[in-house]
Amino acid sequence: MKKTNGKIAGLKNEAKTSACPQGNRALTSNQGLPIKDDFNTLRAGSRGPSLLEDFLFREKIFHFDHERIPERVVHARGAGAHGVFKLHTPIPEFTKAKFLTEPNKETEVFVRFSTVVGSRGSTDLARDVRGFAIKFYTDEGIFDLVGNNMPVFFIQDAINFPDLVHSLKPEPRNEIPQAASAHNTFWDFASLMPETAHTVMWLMSDRAIPRSYRMMQGFGVNTFKLINAEGTSVFVKFHFRPHLGVHSVVWDEAQKISGRNPDFHREDLWDAIEAGKYPVWDFGVQIISKEDEAKLEFDIMDATKVIPEEIIPIQYIGTMQLNKNPDNYFAETEQVAFHPGHLVPGIDFSDDPLLQGRLFSYLDTQLSRLGSPNFHELPINRPKKNIHNFRRDGMMRHEVPQEVPNYNPHSSSGSGCPYLSSVMKGETPFETDPGTSSGDKVRKRSETFADHFSQARIFYHSQTPIGKKHIQDAFSFELGKVTREEVRQRYIGILVVIDSDLAKIVADRVGVAVPDGLSEETLQVARQIFEDYPKLPNYNEDKIFPSLSMEYHCSYDSIKTRKVAALIEDGFDFEEFQQVKKRIEQEGAILNVVTSKLGELRSKTGQLVKIDYSLLTMDSVLFDALYIVGGKESKSRVYANVTAQSYISDAFKHNKTIGFGYDSKEEHDLMYVSLANKGPGVILLEEESDIETFIQSIALHRNWSRELLLDQML
Active-site residues: which are they? Answer: 75, 148
Measured torsion, CA atoms of residues 265, 269, 274, 276, in degrees rounded to the nearest 10: 140
274 vs 276: CA distance, rounded Å:
5
Q: At what angle do helices 500-510 and 465-480 cross, to 10 degrees?
A: 40
Three-state SS for 546? helix
Scored b (16 or more CB within 10 A) or e, 56-77 reads bbeebeeeeeeeeeeebebbbb
What SS3 state is found at 389?
Answer: coil
HSE value, Cβ hemisphere, 13 Å, CA-based, for 216: 30
Query: Residue ranges of the alpha helices (H) in 275-332?
Result: 290-295
Q: At what angle do helices 353-370 and 161-168 cross, to 10 degrees?
A: 60
Q: How many whole angstroms separate alpha carbon 647 and alpha carbon 653?
A: 10
Cα dihedral 501, 505, 506, 510 in deg (nearest 10): 140
Q: Which residues touch 507 (CB under 8 Å, ≥6 apart)?
A: 492, 495, 513, 514
CA distance 495 to 503: 5
The pairing of strands 625-628 and 563-567 is parallel
The total of other beta-carbon atoms located within 10 Å of residue 125's CB is 26
Q: Show Cβ contacts of residue 243 under 8 Å, excluding neighbours closer than 6 positions.
A: 279, 280, 281, 282, 555
Give which of 335, 316, 338 is closest to 147, Cα–Cα: 338
User: Under DSSP, is residue 286 helix (H, G, I), strand (E, B) or coil?
Assistant: strand
For residue 238, what is the enclosing H or E element?
strand 233-242
DSSP state of 327: S
Give the separation between CA 563 and CA 656, rounded to whole angstroms.
11
Distance CA 163, CA 168 (A): 9
Q: How far is CA 590 from the centre of its chain?
A: 22
Q: What is the DSSP code string of 469-506?
A: HHHHHHHHHHHHT---HHHHHHHHHHHHHH-HHHHHHH
Rounded to a whole number of angstroms, the distance between the first and last alpha carbons of the chain is 70
DSSP code for 70? P
The type of residue at 187 is W
